[in-house]
Structure 1
Amino acid sequence: MVMWVFGYGSLIWKVGFNYDVRLVGFIKGYRRVFYQGSTDHRGTPENPGRTVTLEPADGEICHLEVREKQYDQKAYIDFFTDPTATTPVVTGVMVYIASADKKQNQNYLGPASIEDIAKQIVNAEGPSGPNRDYLFQLEKALLEFGCKDEHVINLANEVRRILSESEQLSN
């Protein structure tokens, strides 16, 4: 049986399972956003962290069961490696998505300003470590693939600014 999984968050740098082939590419019609709460890995129920999910977004592209348990939807999508291609390299690639439906997904945090999301990320830590490490690892991995995700970059820069400010105040 062949199964393809699209990783757009921590699966990019921390797979956690054996695989035969890894392709770098993207999906169309979605964008990566830090709207999903993490109360089991990068935060706690009292102080949730934020992790990425996908949201439909016309014209956008997004580059790359235990750890995904807080995501309430599974979708099967087309995967591309060439931005000009009209035919996908792989069809039926599985992806986990956190919906905005608070009845189905109690950890959905939703949109907020970059400043508010950054403050939450700076202050959150869970069993898998500080939430900021998740953000910085994602930023680094995406840049290594040549992917400049503006949401991730802007958020990482804001977190660095807050951390730098905090460090200056403590000196």
Structure 2
Amino acid sequence: MVLWVFGYGSLVWNPGFDFDEKIVGFIKGYRRVFDLACIDHRGTPENPARTCTLQPEEGAICWGAAYCVRGGIKKERAAMKYLERRECEYDQKTSVDFYKEGETSEPAVTGVLVFISTMDKEANRYYLGPAPLVEMARQIATASGPCGNNREYLFLLEKAMSDIGNHTLRTCLFRLFFMAILCKADAHIFLKLIRLGDSAYSFCLNNLFLLFIRTIGNLELLIWSICQISLVVRNYLK
């Protein structure tokens, strides 16, 4: 027997369990939303983080990664035990078909497990529901927990989608990410990440220049983006 699990949030870049194969692709009929509270990783009960869950939507697709666990029931049970503890905010599991890029008619894998949440605040205490973009950005800007802050979660998801090549989703994540940083007035996340190497530096700088272009006409955001471009360049040249 083989276990397949679909990751669309932090599992994309940090699965955390022993797996034998990883395939990049997408599932159909769902879209990714930041409507789930996280109170034990990147948030607290008093100030929950906003993390991803899936919302059913006809015609939608959600990109991510499918992980295969082979090697017998003991290995599968160990993976499931870890995932159920980590994904405790998700109160449902469902089975989906998984597709690879360029192969949209026939699924590459069937019966792939995915963790989702009931979209009802009374039925699921972790479900936050939708909110205006600015309100979500403010919440993401201030939430922090034992595994780090909510802003970094959003950045790493954006970077993971960049690696996958999902430019449509990147545009949406990009807007939310920079609004969150602006709400926090915190550029130090860039300084932390650009030290990972040239690729991370280029990623940060390119996104800052994109922000610069998009903020012409908004004086406050324009000044902020110019300052951050200068800060990133100066720190890289040290």
Aligned match of 1:58 = 58
2:129 counterpart of 1:103? no
Which structure shows the bigger proportion of residues in helix conformation? 2
2:179 counterpart of 1:162? no
Q: CA contact under 8 A between 2:31 and 2:62: conserved in structure 1?
A: yes
Distance 1:166 1:88 in 2: 42
Identity of aligned residues (%): 50
Distance 1:96 1:61 in 2: 16
Distance 2:52 2:137 in 1: 13
Q: Secondary structure at the match of 1:138?
A: helix
Q: CA contact under 8 A between 1:72 and 1:104: conserved in structure 2?
A: no
Structure 2 unaligned spans of 5+: 65-83, 189-223, 225-238
Aligned match of 1:152 = 173
Q: Secondary structure at the match of 1:4?
A: strand
2:101 counterpart of 1:82? yes
Q: CA contact under 8 A between 1:27 and 1:80: conserved in structure 2?
A: yes
Distance 2:54 2:159 in 1: 19
CA-to-aligned-CA distance 1:128-147 (integer Å, 9 cap, x gap): 11011111000001111101
Aligned match of 1:73 = 92
- Kindly indicate whether structure 1 or structure 2 has the higher relative contact order, using CA contacts under 8 Å at least 6 residues apart: 1
Q: Secondary structure at the match of 1:119?
A: helix
2:139 counterpart of 1:125? no
Measured on the aligned residues, the alpha-carbon RMSD in Å equals 1.8
> 159-168 or 84-93, which moves further after superposition?
159-168
Q: Secondary structure at the match of 2:86?
A: coil
Distance 1:151 1:72 in 2: 26
Which protein has the larger Cα radius of gyration, Structure 1 or Structure 2?
Answer: 2
Deviation of 1:127 (Å): 1.0
> 157-166 or 19-28, which moves further after superposition?
157-166
Matched residue count: 168
Q: CA contact under 8 A between 1:41 and 1:127: conserved in structure 2?
A: yes
Aligned match of 1:15 = 15
Deviation of 1:88 (Å): 0.4
Distance 1:114 1:93 in 2: 31
Q: Secondary structure at the match of 2:24?
A: coil
Distance 1:92 1:15 in 2: 19
CA-to-aligned-CA distance 1:91-133 (integer Å, 9 cap, x gap): 0100000111223310110100111001000100011110111
Q: Secondary structure at the match of 1:161?
A: helix
Q: Secondary structure at the match of 2:115?
A: strand
**1:39-54 equivalent positions in 2, closer than 5 A:** 39-54=39-54
Instruction: In structure 1, give the amino acid aligned to 2:180.
Output: V
